[in-house]
């Protein structure tokens, strides 16, 4: 028996060595556009829906979609940047990477194409809010076309509010007046929030900015430990009292699951997931979910926003074809298709189109919310900043720090991150 | 074996493996060493790769910026995690192995195969299964605890519970490893040893102390070495289950290295961090290899 | 009489503790199995539902939505490649280490093992850049080679221990019969060490199959293995529990088959290695 086994082993080694040298061979004679994006509803599903239609119209083009969750997607792009680029043709890019990757020569400036397709460009400019479009302008050049407008929206359980005879709060002050009436754990928690690490910072931005704060002054000297920062931190701490205890470990998906199953009544406003929560095919409670503008704070409503755009890799072999696909994807006539596949368009006309609103009823509120929106900072350091702020806020929630201490420590750390930029701007 | 040939032959046989590991292991390590002396951000690559000397190492050891947790504190968490996991794996593995080495061996084979299953699952999957079960309101564990009438802990929301949650998941996944190794060790104890103990009228404790332990000592060390290295090196479970949280209470070393390298994209800083980890692992291993080596001299 | 009764009680207690142990221990796994055939709308319900009409939809969705079965094939190719290379190289290396005297005989085995300590974070980026230079990222060969970093040192180390356990008198007897060194390895040592080789192969296969970080960095769209595909079930807005559970079950099948077939060898090999090493 052992002889036989050994011969198998030898044969196996050879087969193993042989197969390992066989590389999959790309299909010749076809244009292959590689698209890197994110997975799931609003992202990968929408891209696939539109790409299928595009390939039907252009049989000589093959759109290969690579989609990953956020973390892995960011890793993949960073690796391609480090390796010199060229792995992907069309890049689904987060606004906050525009600056760094434009400077690195990874993204292709789109100005030449915009000049050439002026009709399309005028249509885009007239149909998308300036704040949304502006996120993709850097050093006076355009780097991506937004296909996704993204501002905060407030989701809540309409049925629970109705039962308690309460109206939807429109300010944070009202939220805290209403919350005790609804809060009845373990069946109902008045609030829910995704508070894990940088997500906590994400909840903190809106009250911080509404109270008049901003991350830094014009020389990038951090201004997080201002009274506005402390107030927003205190607000967050107060809010966590009405959240299920494990919200501190939640990312978005946990929050939506909790909204569906764990009796979370009001969701701390965030910029995601209407397409899941209000979609009866995706969420059981979809018909009971109400949508409203996020609460104001101290009489003001400032909503920090982000978003995604489609850009082209400088090293792509098929730049023109990639541009053609981007035009198709963001074109006015294809927005219904996008929405039918759970997409979330940036165009105002698409957000207010009755057909689309019937499919995703949060669109009308989103369109209104975009009027209050200001973009979050687009510099490369920002993703570090939000991680730092999030961790310090988490420490505060655990009771290790007071709000003032947390905000002060975050400020000290952020200063270290911004040091290079501060020196540069003071020169 | 004639002299000349026998001197060259072993090296001929060693060369392929050495070459493979030099290319795959040592070259990247040298490159990392070079990177660790530079600052290089993949978020803002146009700033380039700038020489900063020992700043990355100094920064890691003194400030904990930008992770929010200092290296010594993270090391302490790692040691707790390591100790908890090893104790659980070895303890339960030993119990199970003793249970299964008893006289009652019918169906042992299929049971053993079943027993191996958690180890066959990818850590990413194991992490997600447990994360789901730990949810405070709708998680399975708390549902069961409430049904029985026990208080439901806030698994992932309190620093201590979060660490316990991590340890439980890891122990669950790796019990099969210690179980199999220990079972084999126990089954290989010669029958006459037990018979001699019977004749001497040894009690249960004495059997354990004077037969079981000496014969399984080596197996224990193997388990501790293999699992210990992986626990310091691999970040899959903390990454999936707690993401280092709440706050930084489960930010063990490998998770921090990952955060630096692939979340903050501070490649140089991450390389320095990984180097410090590597130094620690080496200390751990040298200690253990020495213990392993000592055994034949005593025996 | 009294003693027999006592024995019976002990036996019953033992059986009960087996059952209890397994019920508790394998419960999470059973739960995953159950989730894999549960209709999506029941998966997140609280309290959990245990009675329902089982469905196979998730297994079908794996292909239509995720092209998952192709990933399984990728994983099989990658893991087999890694296993064969690391066991093949491992045998030769371990033989040289255990049967010859040369300078550095104490240092080299430890050096081999030390390659297993490398934190993935430190090595993957340089590896990626190196392979990118040769345009080799996203090919089988690269992932197979890179997976050798954790598996090859482990294989060498295990096999070294196993071969050391085989008494040298056997070699000498063969040499008297006129065998050369390699013939000794081929004719005497390998047949004896067959079970240990099986153990090594199983562990190499499992380690390679479950490797996440290395293939995440070194693949793009073509040779993606299952572990990387798993990441996709965790989407930003929802977790595809049904898909993930079904995928976990699918991934268990090849490993389970392998373990079942080689099980006898595993236990024998374990006995050899663990005790004397």
How many cross-chain Cβ pairs, A to B, lie less than 8 Å apart?
A: 119
Burial class from Cβ neighbours inside 10 Å (0-12, 13-18, 19+) for residue A200 reads: buried
Sorting pLDDT into bands at 50, 70 and 90, what band is B297? very low
Tell me what pLDDT residue A25 has: 43
Residue A313 DSSP SS3: strand
Residue in B44, B65, B138 closest to A416 by CB: B65
What is the mean pLDDT of the segment spanning A363-374? 90
For residue B148, give how far its alpha carbon lies from the nearest alpha carbon of chain A (Å): 17
Tell me what pLDDT residue C276 has: 43
pLDDT tens for residues A111-151?
A: 999 999 999 999 999 999 998 999 999 999 999 999 888 88
A154-304+379-426: CATH architecture: 3-Layer(aba) Sandwich (3.40)
CB contact under 8 A, B43 and A97: yes
pLDDT tens for residues C33-47?
A: 999 999 988 887 777
Do the domains A154-304+379-426 and A31-150+305-375 match in fold? Answer: yes
Q: Domain segments of chain B: what residues?
A: 1-35, 37-298
Please report the residues numbered 74 through 113 in chain B whose beta carbons come closer than 8 angstroms to any beta carbon of chain A.
Answer: none
Residue in B138, B157, B247 closest to A395 by CB: B247
Cα–Cα–Cα angle for C202, C206, C209, rounded to 5 degrees? 135
Tell me what pLDDT residue B30 has: 92
Is the pLDDT reported for residue B104 higher than 60?
no
What is the mean pLDDT of the segment spanning C47-60? 88
Q: Which residue has the higher pLDDT, A277 or B22?
A: B22
Distance of CA B156 to the CA centre of its chain: 21
C: neighbours with 3+ CB pairs under 8 Å? A, B
Compare all CA atoms of chain A with the CA of C191 and give the residue at the minimum distance: A2
- pLDDT, chain A, mean: 88
Q: Domain A31-150+305-375 class? A: alpha beta
CB B123 within 8 A of CB B253: no
Tell me what pLDDT residue A129 has: 92
Residue C93 DSSP SS3: helix
| Beta bridge partners of residue A309, listed in sequence order | A93, A146
- Dist CA C51 CA C39 (whole Å): 11
Buried/exposed C154-178: b ≥16 CB within 10 Å, e otherwise: bbbbbbbbbbbbbeeeebeebeeee
Least confident of A265-269, A315-319, B3-7: B3-7
* Phi-psi map region of A137: left, alpha, beta (phi>0 left; psi -120 to 50 alpha): beta
Q: Which of A143, A203, A170 is nearest to A378 (CA)?
A: A143
Q: Which residue has the higher pLDDT, A273 or A341?
A: A341
What is the mean pLDDT of the segment spanning A42-53? 91
Compare all CA atoms of chain B with the CA of C259 and give the residue at the minimum distance: B113
Phi, psi angle pair for C98, to nearest 5°: -90, -20
Mutate to test the interface with A, among C236, C241, C268 (most CBs of A within 10 A): C236
Least confident of A224-233, A307-316, B98-107, C130-139: B98-107
pLDDT tens for residues A333-345?
A: 999 999 999 889 9
Q: Which of A377, A388, A410, A365 is nearest to A153 (CA)?
A: A365
For residue B160, give how far its alpha carbon lies from the nearest alpha carbon of chain C (Å): 22
Q: Which residues of B touch C275 (CB under 8 A)?
A: 184-185, 188, 215-216, 218-219
CB contact under 8 A, C234 and A69: yes
Tell me what pLDDT residue C103 has: 80
Tell me what pLDDT residue C274 has: 46
CB A249 within 8 A of CB B245: yes
CB contact under 8 A, C88 and A87: no
- Dist CA A217 CA A423 (whole Å): 13
CB contact under 8 A, B243 and A197: yes
Mutate to test the interface with C, among B24, B213, B237 (most CBs of C within 10 A): B24
Q: Which residue has the higher pLDDT, B106 or B252?
A: B252
For residue B262, give how far its alpha carbon lies from the nearest alpha carbon of chain A (Å): 6
Tell me what pLDDT residue B105 has: 58
Q: Which residue has the higher pLDDT, C117 or A97?
A: A97
Q: Which of A49, A146, A156, A53 is nearest to A350 (CA)?
A: A146
Q: Which residues of A touch B244 (CB under 8 A)?
A: 197
- pLDDT, chain C, mean: 84
CB contact under 8 A, C121 and B257: yes
pLDDT tens for residues C67-112?
A: 899 999 999 999 999 999 999 999 999 988 888 888 878 888 888 8
Which residues lie closer than 8 Å to B152 by C-beta, 6 or more apart? B136, B141, B142, B145, B146
pLDDT tens for residues A142-180?
A: 999 998 888 899 999 999 999 999 999 999 999 999 999
Is the pLDDT reported for residue B213 higher than 90?
no
For residue C238, give how far its alpha carbon lies from the nearest alpha carbon of chain A (Å): 5
- Dist CA A277 CA A255 (whole Å): 11
CB contact under 8 A, A64 and C221: yes
- Dist CA A143 CA A108 (whole Å): 6
Angle in degrees, 0-180, between the axes of helices B213-233 and B159-187, rounded to the nearest 10 = 140
What is the mean pLDDT of the segment spanning A49-74? 91
Sorting pLDDT into bands at 50, 70 and 90, what band is A63? very high
For residue B278, give how far its alpha carbon lies from the nearest alpha carbon of chain C (Å): 7
pLDDT tens for residues A293-302?
A: 999 999 999 9
Tell me what pLDDT residue C222 has: 86
A: neighbours with 3+ CB pairs under 8 Å? B, C
Compare all CA atoms of chain B with the CA of A383 and give the residue at the minimum distance: B264
Q: Domain segments of chain A: what residues?
A: 31-150+305-375, 154-304+379-426
Sorting pLDDT into bands at 50, 70 and 90, what band is A96? confident
For residue C213, give how far its alpha carbon lies from the nearest alpha carbon of chain B (Å): 9
All domains in chain C, ordered by first residue: 58-276 (1.10.3720.10)
Residue A408 DSSP SS3: helix
Residue in A70, A84, A256 closest to C238 by CB: A256
Count of CB atoms within 10 A of residue C49's CB? Answer: 14
What is the mean pLDDT of the segment spanning C176-181? 77
pLDDT tens for residues A346-368?
A: 999 999 999 999 888 889 899 99
Q: Which of A92, A100, A313, A99 is nearest to B41 (CA)?
A: A100
Residue in C21, C117, C252 closest to B121 by CB: C252
Residue A49: CA count within 13 A, CB half-sphere: 19
Asked if the B37-298 domain carries CATH number 1.10.10.10, the reply is no
B: neighbours with 3+ CB pairs under 8 Å? A, C
Residue in B45, B246, B263 closest to A249 by CB: B246
CB B216 within 8 A of CB B185: yes
Is the pLDDT reported for residue A291 higher than 50?
yes
CB C122 within 8 A of CB B278: yes
Q: Which residues of A touch B247 (CB under 8 A)?
A: 248, 391, 394-395, 397-398, 400
Q: Which residue has the higher pLDDT, B5 or A69?
A: A69
Residue A155 DSSP SS3: strand
Q: Which residues of C touch B218 (CB under 8 A)?
A: 274-277
What is the mean pLDDT of the segment spanning C21-25? 83
Q: Decide if B265 touches A, using CB distance below 8 A.
A: yes
Least confident of B22-26, B207-211, C15-19: C15-19
Is the pLDDT reported for residue C269 higher than 70?
no
- ipTM metric: 0.88
Tell me what pLDDT residue A140 has: 93
- Report which listed range, A245-254, A404-413, C101-110, is most confident: A404-413
Is the pLDDT reported for residue B51 higher than 90?
yes
Which residues lie closer than 8 Å to A263 by C-beta, 6 or more apart? A185, A186, A187, A188, A189, B137
% of chain A exceeding 70 in pLDDT:
93
Least confident of A84-88, B107-111, B259-263: B107-111
What is the mean pLDDT of the segment spanning B36-41? 92
Tell me what pLDDT residue B219 has: 82
Tell me what pLDDT residue B6 has: 62
Q: How far is CA A161 from each of CA A183, A296, A363, rounded to the nearest angstrom?
A: 11, 19, 22
CB B174 within 8 A of CB C25: no
């Amino acid at each position: 028996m052992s002889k036989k086994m050994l011969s198998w082993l030898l044969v196996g080694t050879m087969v193993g060595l042989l197969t390992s040298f066989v590389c999959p061979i790309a299909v010749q004679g076809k244009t292959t556009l590689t698209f890197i994006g994110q997975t799931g509803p609003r992202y990968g599903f929408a891209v696939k829906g539109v790409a299928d239609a595009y390939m039907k119209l252009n049989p000589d083009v093959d759109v290969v979609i690579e989609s990953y969750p956020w973390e892995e997607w960011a890793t993949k792009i960073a690796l391609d940047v480090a390796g010199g680029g060229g792995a992907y043709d069309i890049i689904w890019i987060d606004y906050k990477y525009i600056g760094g990757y434009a400077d690195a020569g990874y993204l292709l400036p789109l100005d030449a194409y915009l000049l050439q397709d002026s009709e399309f460009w005028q249509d885009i400019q007239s149909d998308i809010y300036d704040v949304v479009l502006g996120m993709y302008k850097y050093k006076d050049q355009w780097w991506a076309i937004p296909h996704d407008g993204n501002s905060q929206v407030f989701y809540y359980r309409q049925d629970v509010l109705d039962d308690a005879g309460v109206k939807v709060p429109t300010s944070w002050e009202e939220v805290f007046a209403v919350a005790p009436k609804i809060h009845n754990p373990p069946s109902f928690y008045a609030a829910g929030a995704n508070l894990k690490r940088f997500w906590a910072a994400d909840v903190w931005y809106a009250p911080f900015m509404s109270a008049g704060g901003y991350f830094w002054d014009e020389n990038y000297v951090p201004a997080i430990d201002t009274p506005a920062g402390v107030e927003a931190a205190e607000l967050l701490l107060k809010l966590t009292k009405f959240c299920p205890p494990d919200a501190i470990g939640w990312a978005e998906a946990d929050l939506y699951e909790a909204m569906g199953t764990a009796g979370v009544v009001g969701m701390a406003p965030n910029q995601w997931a209407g397409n899941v929560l209000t979609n009866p095919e995706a969420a059981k409670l979809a018909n009971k979910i109400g949508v409203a503008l996020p609460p104001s704070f101290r009489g003001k409503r400032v909503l920090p926003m982000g978003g995604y755009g489609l850009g082209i890799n400088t090293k792509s072999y098929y730049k023109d074809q990639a541009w053609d696909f981007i035009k198709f994807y963001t074109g006015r006539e294809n927005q219904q298709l996008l929405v039918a596949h759970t997409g979330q368009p940036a165009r105002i006309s698409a957000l207010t189109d009755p057909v689309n609103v019937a499919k995703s009823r949060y669109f009308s509120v989103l369109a209104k919310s975009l009027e209050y929106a200001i973009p979050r900072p687009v510099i490369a350091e920002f993703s570090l900043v939000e991680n730092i702020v999030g961790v310090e806020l988490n420490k505060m929630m655990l009771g290790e720090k007071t709000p003032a201490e947390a905000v002060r420590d975050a400020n000290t750390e952020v200063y270290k991150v911004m040091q290079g930029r501060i020196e540069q701007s003071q020169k | 074996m004639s002299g000349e040939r026998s001197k060259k032959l072993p090296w001929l046989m060693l060369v392929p493996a050495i070459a493979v590991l030099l290319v795959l292991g040592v070259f990247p390590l040298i490159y990392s060493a070079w990177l660790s002396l530079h600052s290089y951000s993949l978020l803002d690559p146009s700033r380039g790769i700038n020489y900063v000397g020992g700043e990355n190492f100094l920064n890691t050891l003194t400030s904990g910026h930008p992770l929010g947790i200092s290296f010594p504190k993270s090391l302490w968490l790692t040691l707790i995690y390591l100790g908890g996991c090893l104790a659980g794996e070895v303890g339960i593995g030993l119990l199970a192995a003793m249970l299964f080495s008893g006289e009652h061996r019918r169906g042992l084979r299929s049971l053993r195969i079943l027993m191996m299953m958690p180890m066959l699952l990818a850590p990413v999957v194991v992490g997600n299964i447990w994360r789901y079960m730990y949810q405070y309101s709708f998680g399975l564990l708390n549902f069961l605890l409430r049904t029985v009438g026990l208080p439901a802990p806030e698994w992932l929301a309190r620093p201590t519970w979060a660490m316990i949650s991590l340890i439980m998941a890891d122990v669950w996944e790796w019990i099969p490893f210690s179980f199999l190794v220990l079972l084999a060790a126990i089954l290989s104890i010669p029958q006459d040893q037990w018979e001699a103990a019977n004749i001497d009228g040894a009690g249960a404790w004495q059997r354990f102390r004077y037969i079981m332990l000496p014969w399984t000592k080596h197996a224990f060390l193997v388990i501790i070495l293999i699992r210990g290295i992986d626990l310091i090196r691999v970040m899959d479970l903390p990454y999936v289950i707690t993401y280092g949280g709440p706050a930084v209470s489960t930010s063990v070393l490998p998770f921090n290295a990952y955060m630096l390298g692939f979340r903050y994209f501070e490649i140089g800083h991450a390389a320095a961090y990984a180097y410090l980890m590597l130094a620690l692992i080496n200390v751990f291993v040298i200690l253990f290899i020495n213990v392993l080596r000592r055994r034949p001299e005593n025996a | 009489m009294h003693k027999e009764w006592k024995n019976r009680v002990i036996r019953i207690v033992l059986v009960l503790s087996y059952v209890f142990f397994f019920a508790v221990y394998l419960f999470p796994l059973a739960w995953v199995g159950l989730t894999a055939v549960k209709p999506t709308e029941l998966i997140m319900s609280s309290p959990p539902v245990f009675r329902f009409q089982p469905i196979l939809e998730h297994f079908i969705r794996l292909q239509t939505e995720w092209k998952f079965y192709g990933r399984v094939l990728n994983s099989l190719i990658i893991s087999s490649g890694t296993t064969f290379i690391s066991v093949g190289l491992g045998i030769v290396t371990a033989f040289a280490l255990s049967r010859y005297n040369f300078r550095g005989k104490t240092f080299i085995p430890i050096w081999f093992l030390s390659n297993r300590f490398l934190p993935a974070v430190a090595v993957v980026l340089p590896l990626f850049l190196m392979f990118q230079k040769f345009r080799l990222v996203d090919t089988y060969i690269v992932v197979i080679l890179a997976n050798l970093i954790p598996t090859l040192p482990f294989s060498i180390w295990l096999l070294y221990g196993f071969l050391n356990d085989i008494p040298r008198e056997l070699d000498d007897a063969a040499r008297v019969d006129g065998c050369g060194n390699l013939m000794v390895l081929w004719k005497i040592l390998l047949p004896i060490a067959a079970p240990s080789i099986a153990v090594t192969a199983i562990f190499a296969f499992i380690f390679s199959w479950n490797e996440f970080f290395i293939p995440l960095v070194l693949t793009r769209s073509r040779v993606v293995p299952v572990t990387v595909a798993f990441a996709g079930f965790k989407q930003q807005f929802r977790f595809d529990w049904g898909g993930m559970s079904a995928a976990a079950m699918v991934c268990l099948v090849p490993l389970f088959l392998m373990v079942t077939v080689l099980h006898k060898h595993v236990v024998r090999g374990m006995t050899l290695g663990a005790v004397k090493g």
